[in-house]
Structures are given as C-alpha cells and as structure tokens.
Amino acid sequence: MGDEVIIEQNGVELSNVEEGPTGKEKIDIEEDESADDRPAWDNKIQYLLSQIGFAVGLGNVWRFPYLCQRNGGGAFLIPYLIMLVIEGIPIFHLELAIGQRIRKGSIDVWNQINPLLGGVGVAMVAVSFLVALYYNVIIGWCAFYFFNSFQAPLPWATCPGNGTVLECEKSSPTAYFWYREALDTSESIEDGGGINWKMMLCIFTAWLIVCVCMIKGIKSSGKAIYFTATFPYVVLLIFFFRGVTLEGAGDGLAFLFIPRVEKLADPIVWLEAATQIFFSLSVAFGGLISFSSYNPRKNNCTRDAVVVAIINSGTSIFASIVIFSVLGFKALTDSRKCLQEFQVVMDNNVPDFASQNMTVTASNYMDLWGTYNTTDTAVRDFNFGYCSKEGNLNNAVGGTGLAFVVFTEAMNQFYPLEMGPFWSILFFLMLANLGLSSMFGTLEGVITPLRDAGIWKWRKEFLVVLLCVVCFLIGLIFAQYSGSYWLDIFNDYSGTFPLLIIAFFENIAIVYVYGLNRLSDDLLYMTGSRPNIYWKVTWMFLTPVSMLVIFGATIYTEATRTITYKGWDSALGQVVDKGPYPWWGEMMCYVLICLPTLFIPLVFVLRLTGLMPYRGETLKAKQKRTVPGAISKQNLVTDSLKMRFSDLKAHSTEDSDSVKAMLP
C-alpha cells in the first residue's frame, strides 16, 4: 500500500486516500452494513462451525476410508494432499470471498458480477436441490437404525428363525437386516413394489427435524450447529480410543498408512483423489457463498478458507484411523471364525485328523486343503473367502455398505457384547448429525439465493416449510422398495459431474471476467492484504487446468463404459451385478448431469438476446454510482489549492474594500 494522504478542506480531513501497488489511486469507501437488515452470525465461532459442518459430512466417514483402502493406503494421501493444495483450497477461498464481498446468495452474486453469468447461480441452486432430495434420505436411514438400537440384543445381532431363514444364513445378520428388514429392497429397479412405510416415516422425521432447525434461518440453524457440528468429533474420539485398543487394530492401521507406492503410477488414483478433495469441501453448491454472505465485509476469509479446508481433510484422515482400526479387528475376527469352521470340517470329514490333534492355522490352512481336497467333497468345496486377514482388509467397501453392514457387524463383536446398543446409538447418532450439519448448508444454497434474488418475496419461514414439504413428496421415490437403486443414481450423477462444470465456470468467471485485480482489491479491503503468489498461480493456472483434466478423464471414463448397477439377490444372499439400467434409468442419469449445467448457457443466451434482461444493479454499476470517478491525490490537492486560492482572493477583496472605506 502506498502512503495515506490527509488533506484538510474547509476544516474537513479527507483521508483514506491511498495509492495501490499498481500505481492507480482509489478511494476505499466502506459501505454502511448497518443500513441493511441482513441476518448476521452471532459470533465467528458459529460461522466457522457452520462452514465446518457443511464441509464435513458423511463422505468423510464412509467414502474417504474406502478410497484409501482401494487406492494404495498411505500412497493415496500423496495425491490427495497435492490436490487439496492446487484445487480444493483455492476454489473454497473464491466462494468465501465473493459471498462475503457481495453479501448475497449465489444467484444474485453472479448477476452482480455479470448478468450473463446468472446461470452459474441458478445451476448451484439446482444442484443443491437435487442433492438435498436424497441426502436427507440417508439421515432417515440413520434415524431408523438409531431408533432400533434401543434394545438388547440388537435386531441385527443374529439371524431370525433359528437357522430357517436361508437368505440370512447365506449372508450375515447385518446384511440381512439392512437389505430385508430396513430397506426390504426389490430385486431390481424395475420392480418398484410400492411404498415402504417404515422408510417413509423415517424420511418424514428427517425432514421435520431439518425444517424445525432451519425455520428461522441462521438464527435457528446457527444454534443447532453447536451440537450437530461438534458431537461427531466427540463420538469419533470415543471410537478412536475403543478402536485402537481392539485386537487386530494394528493390522488395519498398517494397511492404511503403509504406502503401496506402485499405485501412484495409476492415473485413476490421481483422478479419484482430485474428485474426492473437490467434492468433500462442498464447493459449487452455493452453500458456502450463502454462509459467508452473512459475514461482515471486514473478515479474514483467506484464513477461514485455509482453516476450514485443513479441518475437513484432517477429519477425513482421523475418521480413516477410526474406521481402519475397527476393520483390522473385524478382519482378524472373521479370519479366526473362518479357520475355526474349517477346523470343524477337517475334524468331521478327515479320518484321524482330530485324533492326531492337528490344528488349522493361518499359515497351514491352504496346505491342508491342498492335501485333503481330493479325499472329501466337504473339504474341497469349503469357502475360504474370509480366512485370509489380508484378503479381508483388501475387500473395499464404501458408502452405505460400510456404515450399515460392515461397521455395524464389527460393533456386534465389541466386548463386552452387552455394550452393543451403546456403540450403535453413538455411531448412528454421529452419522445423523454429520448429515444434518451438511443439510443446513445444502438448503441454504437454495433458500438464500431465492430470497436475495427476489424470486421469493414472502416470509422466509414459509419458504423453508414449502421447500421441505416439496422435497419430502418428491423424495418418496426413495421410500419405494426400489428406493436404494434410485438413491444410487442420484448419488452418482447429481452431485458429482455437475459440480465440476459449475466450479470450472466459477473459477474462470471470477479470475478472468470479474478480474484478478478487482478481486485483489476486494481482498485487500476485506482482509487487509492482497493474495500472494500461491493464490494467483492456482486461480489463474493450476486449478482450472486440474479441473479440465478431471473433466476430460471423466467424460472418457463415462463414454467408454456401460452404465450398470448392483443390487441385492435374495436367493444368493449377496450383492450382485444387475446389468445395465433400463432405458429410462439411463436417461435419468443423463438428466441429472445435464439439467443443472444447462442453466449456464441458457441464461447466457437469454440475457445476450434481451429475452430475459437483468433489471437489478451490477457490482460495477454500483461502484460507479458510489465512486463517480477515480479521484487521485493530485486532483484532491488541486481542488484544495483552488479552494484555498478562492478563499484568499475573497479575503483580499474584503480587505481592499475595507481600506477604501477608511479613505476620505
């Protein structure tokens, strides 16, 4: 910053005139924020907890560990952290900066930057709406398990019917409870089967909770966030101490942190790392912009972006430690159970095996099978699927399969067994709170833009209730017996590819349309410093290039594969490949990808042709109105000298007239 010049003009000091590092002079005029009635956060902690709660969601607990498991363990952390630096944090910072600078929701933010870009904001609202439809369903599932946890023994601890339910005997108690008792899933997506009333009630409960928490906007959700954003960390900490003390936890942690470096040569690993860091920060939803718009303009959004992004990634790594310590215990337990079952088979079917006190161990079971498989069919046909501890750890499971089947089965084996309900209550309450804090940000990405853009002119409470009711009614598609198939479609296509396109246009629009110099001036005004070389290089080159690479790789991947889906086979008692979607299912995948992103070119064309003119005031016009022209130090000095010369001339004339009056 240049030196400040203070000039006195008619007894008034004109200060705050500075010369920027570019050599251009300007006047910083702080707008009177107290003049508007925009809601504000009670304090900085409330704001940071809301941003953390929005960014840290279910994906941190059940998707990130799965990606580590599948992509080289500790080796996956290398591309993940690199992508965090060149892609995640820069976009996160951009959204916080523009929301805080313009103090509007996503639609009005882009209209004020440039009306031709208004479609970017509309696309953000569309994505948030589509994601909210299915995300709250998962919270409903967590509520179902939470309510069923208040009984001992847990209903998923053993198979019903004392061995007569073949579907459960062929799978496991937890898998049977999830697919049959909870979802009661149909055999395919084409078999809708009607409404599952249990799931409908749980989804209704989830929407009721969200509606109550958000009815007063950030005044109510800001209060709830103190619990929903902090409680998951308390539970993770409890599970951490329980997990690392379990037998076999060391094997799971070794699997997580020992890098399988050869995986780094696989481009898919880098692609999945970039995709995960991008989506886990919740950028391009509009929620970050909405939350930051309730900040005062003088707030260090640069520091906020770095802090929240690091906490988000740290949470993912910490959650992975918890998950893998438990998975290590489960892998060891399953291996021992498998070897014990093989011991029984050998004792019962191989002569003299039991009498010779021969023991099946992890090191000799395959040798024993090789020796005796030709003598007995029971030995030959034995399933060794879970006998290998390393093989168990290599079986990558993510998403609902990890939360509702694998981790739930592991908790069944925590000692003492009577504590099962306690661990289950904690776990599913944690998942529900992770989902709720993310839902607050997702719905703010819809509500705030609609109100700020003047699309909704009535009370905010009515909009919240209407939105929750509409989402619940549309979301009944997920309460069908085929609802889990529909949720997979929405999860795979509505909140992935469109976000990438939106964020790319967002980066290009801010840096190259709004202008990096103007953004730099805004950050100087808001934070007291201009962006350093790291921010400039990432915004201008590294971030858009990395998104283009992901964009191209994703298009290639999707274009070269057939869209298929997996589902539950009740006869086999396991998840199997169901083949390609029916034509209408495949069309829905493309609709979810294209629908939000089509608003970007659509609004551009409508505005360009004048069919949908923007009648508001752009940021550039507002700045011109507020500061009619560039007022330099030289102009101020010149005006001051002219004023002083005029005063001096007037005084000289008065003195001359007085002298003349005194003359005879």
What is the residue-wise DSSP string for 487-513? HHHHHHHTSSHHHHHHHHHHHHIIIII
pLDDT tier for residue 384 given thresholds of 50, 70 and 90 = confident
User: Residues within the annotated binding site for Na(+)?
Assistant: 53, 55-56, 60, 280, 312, 434, 438
Residue 57 in tokens: 């969601």
CB distance 539 to 507 below 8 Å: yes
Whether cis (ω within 30° of 0) applies to the bond prior to 613 is: no
Angle (CA) 485-488-491 rounded to 5° is: 155
Lowest model confidence (mean pLDDT) among 23-32, 66-75, 169-178, 207-216: 23-32
Residue 400 in tokens: 């609902």
pLDDT tier for residue 1 given thresholds of 50, 70 and 90 = very low
Q: How far is CA 264 from CA 77, 256, 260, 367, 628, in A?
A: 10, 15, 8, 34, 56
Question: Which residues 6+ apart lie within 8 Å of 76 measured at CB?
Answer: 67, 68, 263, 269, 273
Whether cis (ω within 30° of 0) applies to the bond prior to 153 is: yes
Lowest model confidence (mean pLDDT) among 89-103, 395-409, 411-425: 395-409
pLDDT for 661 equals 44
| Residues above pLDDT 90, as percent of the chain | 61
| Residues above pLDDT 70, as percent of the chain | 88
Identity (one letter) of the amino acid at 305? A
CA-based nearest residue to 389, from 338, 322, 323: 338
Give the Cα separation of 124 and 442 in Å (integer).
10
Identity (one letter) of the amino acid at 610? G
Burial class (CB in 10 A: 0-12, 13-18, 19+), 506: buried
Q: Please state whether beta strands 12-19 and 25-27 pair in parallel, antiparallel, or not at all (unpaired).
A: antiparallel
Q: Cα dihedral sign for 526, 7, 634, 643?
A: positive
CA-based nearest residue to 484, from 285, 147, 207, 193: 193
pLDDT for 640 equals 46
CB distance 173 to 159 below 8 Å: yes
pLDDT for 626 equals 59
**Which secondary-structure segment (H or E) carries 6?**
strand 5-9
Local structure of 600: helix, strand or coil: helix
Give the Cα separation of 99 and 38 in Å (integer).
13
pLDDT for 401 equals 86
CA-based nearest residue to 276, from 398, 109, 107, 407: 398
pLDDT for 394 equals 80
Of residues 628 and 519, more confidence is placed in 519
| Residue 231 reports pLDDT greater than 90 | yes
Whether cis (ω within 30° of 0) applies to the bond prior to 296 is: no
Cα-Cα-Cα-Cα torsion 145, 149, 153, 154, nearest 10 degrees, comes to: 10
Q: pLDDT (tens digit, 9 = 90+) per residue, 241-277?
A: 999 999 999 999 998 888 888 888 888 888 888 888 8
Q: What would you report as the CA-atom Rg of the chain, rounded to the nearest whole angstrom?
A: 31
- Which residues in 427-563 belong to E strands, given as ranges? none
User: Residues within the annotated binding site?
Assistant: 53, 55-56, 60, 280, 312, 434, 438
Angle (CA) 461-464-468 rounded to 5° is: 145
pLDDT for 89 equals 96
Q: Give DSSP secondary structure letters for 208-274.
A: HHHHHHHTTTHHHHHHHHHHHTTHHHHHHHHHHHHHHTSTTHHHHHHHHHS--GGGGG-HHHHHHHH
Residue 221 in tokens: 């959700």
CA-based nearest residue to 270, from 85, 500, 76: 76
pLDDT for 634 equals 45
| Residue 655 reports pLDDT greater than 90 | no
Give the Cα separation of 205 and 225 in Å (integer).
18
Give the Cα separation of 54 and 434 in Å (integer).
9
**Which secondary-structure segment (H or E) carries 121?**
helix 118-148
| Residue 645 reports pLDDT greater than 50 | no
Give the Cα separation of 241 and 523 in Å (integer).
42
CA-based nearest residue to 284, from 482, 468, 125, 457: 125
Of residues 418 and 305, more confidence is placed in 305
Lowest model confidence (mean pLDDT) among 2-11, 119-128, 382-391, 447-456: 2-11
pLDDT for 259 equals 87
Of residues 409 and 26, more confidence is placed in 409
Give the Cα separation of 412 and 407 in Å (integer).
9
CA-based nearest residue to 178, from 346, 4, 404: 404
Residue 256 has a CB neighbour count (10 Å cut-off) of: 24
pLDDT tier for residue 63 given thresholds of 50, 70 and 90 = confident
Give the Cα separation of 10 and 13 in Å (integer).
8
pTM of the full structure: 0.86
Give the Cα separation of 147 and 157 in Å (integer).
15
Give the pLDDT mean for 535-541. Answer: 97
pLDDT tier for residue 523 given thresholds of 50, 70 and 90 = very high
SS3 content of the chain, % helix, strand, coil (to 5): 70, 5, 25
Residue 482 in tokens: 């085929």
pLDDT for 328 equals 92
CA-based nearest residue to 312, from 614, 3, 60, 583: 60
pLDDT for 648 equals 46
| Residue 93 reports pLDDT greater than 90 | yes
Residue 513 in tokens: 């349309």
* Sheet-wide strand order for 25-27: 5-9, 12-19, 25-27
Give the Cα separation of 30 and 10 in Å (integer).
23
Give strand pairing partners of 564: 580
pLDDT for 646 equals 52
Give the Cα separation of 477 and 224 in Å (integer).
29
Give the pLDDT mean for 371-400. Answer: 79
CB distance 149 to 534 below 8 Å: no
Give the Cα separation of 563 and 560 in Å (integer).
10
pLDDT tier for residue 12 given thresholds of 50, 70 and 90 = very low
CB distance 578 to 564 below 8 Å: yes
Q: Cα dihedral sign for 15, 19, 24, 30?
A: negative
pLDDT for 625 equals 65
Give the Cα separation of 313 and 78 in Å (integer).
13
Cα-Cα-Cα-Cα torsion 85, 90, 95, 101, nearest 10 degrees, comes to: 130
DSSP 84: I
pLDDT tier for residue 36 given thresholds of 50, 70 and 90 = low
Residue 392 in tokens: 């168990």
pLDDT tier for residue 450 given thresholds of 50, 70 and 90 = very high
CA-based nearest residue to 224, from 213, 208, 235: 213
| Residue 446 reports pLDDT greater than 70 | yes
At residue 594, φ and ψ (nearest 5 deg) are -85, -35
pLDDT tier for residue 421 given thresholds of 50, 70 and 90 = very high
Give the Cα separation of 377 and 382 in Å (integer).
8
Q: b or e along 101-115 (b: 16 or more beta carbons within 10 Å of the residue's beta carbon)?
A: bbbbbbbbbbbbbbb
| Residue 26 reports pLDDT greater than 90 | no
